[in-house]
Amino acid sequence: MIVTHPTPSQLVPVPSLQAWLGDGETYRVCASDDFRSRADAHQLVIRAGPRYEAEQVLALVGERDWREELDVTTDHALLVLLGQYARHLGLIEQLEAVPLDQRTRDHTPQTKLIQFWVGVLAGLEHLQDFNDAPQPLVKDQAVIASWGQPAFAHYSGVSRTLDAADDQTLQAVLDVLQRVSQPFLDAEVMALLRRGGPLVVDVDLTGRRVSPTSTTYPDADFGWMDDEVANGYQAAITSLSGGPCERLLLSSQRYSGRAQSAACLQAAVRQMESTLGLHPRRRTELVQAQLHALGVNIEAVQTALDSARAQRRALFDQLQTARNDERLAQAEATRLTAAFEARGRPERPHSYLAKARQRLESAQKRQQRAGRGLRANAARLTKLEQEGLALQAQQTRLLDWLATLENENATQPNPPPMVLRIDAGFSTDDNLTWLIEMGYVVYTKAHNGQTTARLHRQVAPTTAWTRVGRNAEAVALPQQHIAECPYRLQALLVRYHLPAGLSYTTLLYYGDRPPPTDLKAWFGDYNARQTIEAGIKEGKSVFPMRRPWVRSPLGLQLQEHFSRFAANFVRWAASWAQQIVRDANWALRQALTEVKTLVQIVAHCRVRLVHHAVGRVMIFDEHGPFAGSMFLLAGQATYQYVLPLFKSLSFEPHRTM
């Protein structure tokens, strides 16, 4: 073990030093020749710290040429550490196997793909920063070596490689990222379930802007982004929160700028479930109840249809009778008219001729009534038939949907409870129905402002409002049918006191249990979805999602997915780094809990990489904010891989029969 201190000297009582050295472990105390006693009895002064690192390493190495190794420095401390971590996970090896149809000249396409990934971790603003930054990564041999590559390419070569990527490349990268992520996701899920709570998932849609005048970004379009119209793309993001990592991004899907939140929800949820390998228990009983009610409606429509068809037959009979009567009455009236004219008799009101004309007129009127009845009957039949076909089609869809849900329940015998939080843009009637039947506990807002206006009218002026926030008050309402959603939801009407006046919104809830009786807790549970908004902000301010690096379609997709994975990867690496850090000062201990500090500060700190008899050590520069801190990259440090959740694992080599 290497023992150093971040201060030039430290006063240690001899009894404490004896107890420390006699605890059964082997220690190496590295100090300079200035190892002397003070005038006070029973006390020693051990001088140590960054200024004596060279002497410490020399004492460990002994009589050998160590200076060349000692002088290996880098200005990108975090990237070296992440490269070492990526080796532990096998990430580099897997990325090197990704198919990329491009010729190799000075650098393989896989090297340039890995270089692109390193640039994402570095939080570069532009792709050309590989070469043009004050400390360019392409010249940092320590970073390059830590990522197992012979050299990094010019940024233009990286751009050409991304342009050569195809769907097979993208899918292979996604598979690699999923394989690396899965054990950590399983561990996060297990930690959450051990606490006895649900898995809390958030979904949000965020804009990826490009230049408003550009026409060369594929599929970019104008849409609503960050409260204004802008040119670019939309990304549907899902995240898991509340676990040891606090927040993990699960999936990201790209759409054109015109995409609306509601249209992206179901695909995002399905992708999230695929990433986790988990889903809640599907509420098949709700679908069965819908089918039962639908069956009653179909039977009623069929009864009405049978009645309408019987009425049509009766109307046809009436029409035929009226036509026959008209023909007979017409013949009789013609005969009598001729007879009256031949005899010169006048037509009187009660004469046979007058009665014949009345019978003719009656038959014509009955014929007209039958025609009108048939037309009305035909319209009713058409409507009933269409309604019946629609109900039968709905029944078929529900039967298929029920079969899907039952199959999904069968494939996951112990589904966890899952909460899904979405904003108002996602909560259309169809989406609410779908999420409820999918088994989620739903926290959302009303999609339409008219819903809030209608609910507000139900509140009496004397109703007492409960304070739920600094400028927010709320009142709970009875269960409500929201628009066309067949299920009743709990509603919380919220009003905000703003400088411009009162503003109202409605929070909605659906779950197997009632919502929190404490309205402040309900309000807080929904607004805790700001964690995904913080994750989106992190992607734009820390990782390179503020602007696109390339214009190729697959390159844009790779940047999206690498950036999402980077947010998780740095968190996992920080947890690992806490195990191998030695003599960390307060600043480094704090930095290891903050992704932004790691990427924006630690990634640009100078360190020395020292190889010695104990192992490989990364020592922070004595003039930097983390002076005296070090990471033991090799030697005494070990790494425990996360074991898969509910899956078999064998450490024996594969055998072929």
What is the rounded distance in angstroms from the CA atom of residue 492 to the CA atom of residue 480? 10
- Is residue 175 in a domain? no
> How many residues in the chain?
657
- 392 plus 305 within the same structural domain: yes
pLDDT for the residue 408: 95
pLDDT for the residue 649: 45
pLDDT at 51 over 70: no
The model's pTM is 0.79
Contact between residue 252 and residue 236 where contact means Cβ atoms under 8 Å apart: yes
Q: What pairing do the DSSP bridges indicate for beta strands 418-421 and 441-445?
A: parallel
Contact between residue 519 and residue 474 where contact means Cβ atoms under 8 Å apart: yes
- 323 plus 349 within the same structural domain: yes
- 55 plus 83 within the same structural domain: no
Among residues 528, 556, 584, which one ends one of the domains?
A: 528
pLDDT for the residue 92: 95
- Is residue 277 in a domain? no
> Using alpha carbons only, what angle is made at residue 180 by residues 177 and 604, rounded to the nearest 5 degrees?
80
pLDDT for the residue 644: 53
12 CA to centre of own chain: 53
- Is residue 271 in a domain? no
pLDDT for the residue 52: 46
Strands (E), 156-304: 199-209, 221-225, 228-241, 247-256
Residue 50 has, within 13 A of its CA and on its CB side, a CA count of 19
- 552 plus 509 within the same structural domain: no
Number of domains in the chain: 4
Contact between residue 298 and residue 395 where contact means Cβ atoms under 8 Å apart: yes
* Lowest-pLDDT choice from 15-29, 164-178, 254-268, 312-326: 15-29
- Is residue 264 in a domain? no
What is the rounded distance in angstroms from the CA atom of residue 311 to the CA atom of residue 317? 10
What residue numbers bound the domain in which 42 lies?
2-69
pLDDT digits (tens, 9 = 90+) for 403-420: 999 999 999 888 999 999
* Lowest-pLDDT choice from 38-42, 375-379, 512-516: 38-42
The CA-atom distances, in angstroms, between 90 and each of 87, 103, 513 are: 5, 25, 43
- 293 plus 404 within the same structural domain: yes
Percent of the chain whose pLDDT exceeds 90: 57
- Is residue 242 in a domain? no
pLDDT digits (tens, 9 = 90+) for 81-117: 999 999 999 999 999 999 998 888 889 999 999 999 9
DSSP secondary-structure letter at 415?
P
612 confidence band (pLDDT: 50, 70, 90): low
The CA-atom distances, in angstroms, between 637 and each of 26, 219, 482, 634 are: 15, 48, 57, 6
- 296 plus 347 within the same structural domain: yes
- 598 plus 517 within the same structural domain: no
3-state secondary structure of 589: helix
Among residues 369, 389, 411, which one ends one of the domains?
A: 411
pLDDT digits (tens, 9 = 90+) for 249-267: 999 999 988 899 999 999 9
- 149 plus 124 within the same structural domain: yes
pLDDT digits (tens, 9 = 90+) for 159-208: 999 999 999 999 999 999 999 999 999 999 999 999 998 999 999 999 88
Contact between residue 10 and residue 49 where contact means Cβ atoms under 8 Å apart: no
Contact between residue 572 and residue 245 where contact means Cβ atoms under 8 Å apart: yes
- Is residue 207 in a domain? no
Kindly report the CATH number assigned to the domain that includes residue 353.
1.10.287
- 293 plus 375 within the same structural domain: yes
Tokens matching residue 76: 């990108």
Sequential DSSP letters for 128-165: THHHHSSS-GGG-HHHHHHTT-S-PPPHHHHHHHHHH-
What is the rounded distance in angstroms from the CA atom of residue 91 to the CA atom of residue 97? 10
Tokens matching residue 385: 């038939």
- 509 plus 614 within the same structural domain: no
Among residues 17, 37, 69, which one ends one of the domains?
A: 69
What is the rounded distance in angstroms from the CA atom of residue 210 to the CA atom of residue 222? 10
pLDDT for the residue 65: 43
Tokens matching residue 177: 């990222």
Q: What are phi and psi of 519, to 5 degrees?
A: -65, -30
Nearest CA to 107 out of 140, 154, 143 is that of 154
- Is residue 190 in a domain? no
- 301 plus 392 within the same structural domain: yes
What is the rounded distance in angstroms from the CA atom of residue 176 to the CA atom of residue 409? 28
Sequential DSSP letters for 15-37: HHHHHHHTSSS--EE---S-EEE
pLDDT at 340 over 90: no
- 445 plus 458 within the same structural domain: yes
What is the rounded distance in angstroms from the CA atom of residue 310 to the CA atom of residue 318? 12
The CA-atom distances, in angstroms, between 130 and each of 82, 115, 119, 139, 547 are: 17, 9, 7, 9, 16
Tokens matching residue 172: 């292979």
DSSP secondary-structure letter at 645?
T
- Is residue 380 in a domain? yes
Contact between residue 223 and residue 229 where contact means Cβ atoms under 8 Å apart: yes
